[in-house]
Structure 1
């Protein structure tokens, strides 16, 4: 069962998947503090109309989860007073980091994404977000930066749904938010993909694929996130073991994260 969420609307219409992780209740009855943890899609597109709001959120860290190719092509707009940091969570040689290039080659696109390939591709992306050394190092960095500060912080990728989605699921789970609410937060990305859909439709036009073949990469599905959690259990036996043995996050860091982020 997925627990629906009712969040705070579109804080930044020009970055529709920008939202606050605050307000979620934990299983112990505490609440994630609002205004400290933000998740987002790409931040190169902040409009002039949204800039004052963006600068007024008090963001002190902007963590960019994108690949070097994405960062160079579409550099972020960084809020006033914020530190910009690259936090890599994807092996740049993996297909998941280069799918947009594949879509420019019709033959390669058909081979990889046709006939249900896009769904299989997404399944593999989520396994890699748990397994890859780059992902383990990057998500540890995300947790440590959230715990240490300075806060507030925003972390993002391009669509704000997969790399960012697993990062948000990780942080909320560490803070004690129940799984149904974690999945509910994750699924909300589907209502916030206007920018991504425009971009993906352009890529689809050049790929020779039918739009239906591409759709699995433009949306989140609960089964995608569940694949990541299942991979955690398969590789480590439990979420706690994934955190301590895979991510190598210390107990001191977890205590600091919860002290900073919960009321």
Structure 2
């Protein structure tokens, strides 16, 4: 059986387009819209000198939650790349909305398989949902499927997305119920790219340095859902750098 792994981040900008798409598929889910959004951003970095010198040594503080990595700073780790893609997703979910940006966002959010689905193509998603598929109560499958249907009827074009992170079906279904009852499609678009962060919390300022990325959210304890899933996958695929 082939073991999936990520190439060194430094080699990604100069890789062929199919390799870049394959990496994005492993980290997120196969999505033409993710490809269109992220491939040019990755290829942009191939024009950065191998030793960018003082430019990369100096910290750059960005005070907006929607500011992406500056063009003259390389992706120094997969964490930086993933956060950058997450911020591009955040821009799609930020007013003013255009019909095309909403359509792209919904397509991306819909690329993740339904929770509890019997057929899941992505090996990463199958592993992430493994705990959800061990329920012994035969009625749980039906309740989860019913909640998926109710959610998608409540929010046309969207699919419920959450970072499972070892949580059981009862916890996940309570969250689904809460979000359905809330009935706020704008919040759903944001939550689709958000997840719970650590108890230390984080502030909408992102600092880029040569070797890593620091994020701090003052009043929010959420990071991006698809981003957190991708960060978890990067670690399991053997590269966070």
TM-score over 0.5 (shorter chain): no
When the two structures are superposed, what TM-score results if normalisation uses the length of structure 1? 0.28
